[in-house]
Structure 1
């Protein structure tokens, strides 16, 4: 919510501050009193309209439009030297201000997100009242869009379309089923032929299975005969089987000892790595005092940077006051010259009533 609006050197406004109330605010006043300029100043801040320099005067100093929100202050300033920037002031000065340069006609996304204003929030005196001049259909469409009812209507329409498509498919399938039923009546006599064909197919399948089984049995017999021949030729190896078993046990024991030896070597290497790591860490412990000193220096630098930001903000405000004072002094001198010009020699002074002699 906007709490306060400040306008400086924008069209007819030299310096204007408006305190807004919650809800809807209406700006009233006589013609040419600067009502429309207030709306234009808001649009210049929010949407960068109007563009260019025609809305500001060279003698009035920097152009400034600011909005005070609930938790922060957002403003835009444009100076004579071409400086053009947006600034967000945070309630906590330690965080500093966020500064964004105004480039071309684009408004920074951070400013748009914070202000969150659109055409509905601003209305001029020549525009019709919101929704009152719209037709019933347009009003309904607007509220449907706000409540996202248009998505529900679209979903219902899609579902109804699916139902209609399913109904059409069911009707077409029923017609095809009737046609197929009529065609099947012509083949009633084929049932007995199908039974005979199925019987013949069963007999043919069994015959193929028997042939395959016979072939497999023949192959098994041949394999058995070959195995008998190999058993006879390897009979001498059966006698040395106990010796082979002892040799296998010996090799198994050797493999086990090799595994234990490898584990022991790995353990020794781990110990050596740990000793190297301990030597390396001793170097870092000697640097602890230097690290503490560097941390203290870093904290001091951070504190000085925060103080520098605060001083920059104070200098900016002092420069703004000096500019305003200089312009006020120039205005006073101009008024004095005009006063003496209008009241020449021999005329009566409107303040004291005496005759002006020079």
Structure 2
């Protein structure tokens, strides 16, 4: 036999966390008033029958609650409720979980199959749980009305099926009689309405005749339009015939005109040929006249060629004489230059000896200048080295200062990072304070609304005892 082995209540009304072990036979919960006995029964009914609805039974100060019912075969049902979630959790004897959501006010069939606990329907408007009895509740059916007991006993033995069938049959008969009466009245009304339209048959016949006449008129009109179009087309053809006759009359002498045109073409071609020959003849005459003038001017051509040969001979002689004269002048200038050079180079041996001495002195001076420059560079390097040696006399102190500066630099970087983090935290703190002030305002407004609701109800939402304004103030102050 399957029975409830344990009940676990978490944040359900006055129960923070409660576990109750049950016996497989009869279980009775006893204890002082206002210690949560009714809450246990209410939690059990909430888990098994999804009653009551809402979330008012969540413990004060908590956001969620649950009731878990564990059976002797290892299966388990957990009913869970929060401000945003409403669900059943079903665990079989292997620990496999199934979640049910969106079931409304009914209990999922899988939950009912596991618990095997259903409410007994006493009549059409009332049901009862025979497995669970509440405080001051009388024995089954004895505290109910006679009609309720009769309906319940009838349902237990199956008589309610016949009663329900009779009720349904009588209701159907009444509905059918009402429908029949309504249909008869509607039929009579329709017949009266149709009597006003008896003339429609005759009107239909007339309409058909009118349609035939209209069709005949339409066909006649189409034929008439077609004849009008043909007549207009014929008139246009006649006009074209008259115009063509006029053109033909005007073109009777066309063959003669064509012959005249041929004669004119031949005469024009002959004229062009003759004109071209005339222009060529005129050009030839001009060439003959030019050639005659040229022959007249070239009568003494032989004498002119002899004179030209003589002139060429004299020209060659003049050219040769001018070249010889210029060469002579150049030779004279060269002689003068050479004489001057000879006069200047009388003491060339002394000059050569002086050149050798000068070259030796020049080499010595060059070496001395190089040595001098090297000496200057060495002196400069020595002076620079002395300056560096003087500056680097405190090299150990500089190394310490460098290490100290590096340490200070690292500390400065850390301080800058801390400063940035501090600014970020301050900004975040300001935002959080703003959010907290808004939340405090919202909480105050919600507490005011809650206070007004409690004052109107005058009932504690946890233990359902009567409360006054002072008790309401205490409850509100606990939230604050």
TM-score, normalised relative to structure 1: 0.37
Q: Which has a greater percent of helix? A: 2
Report the structure number with the largest CA radius of gyration: 2
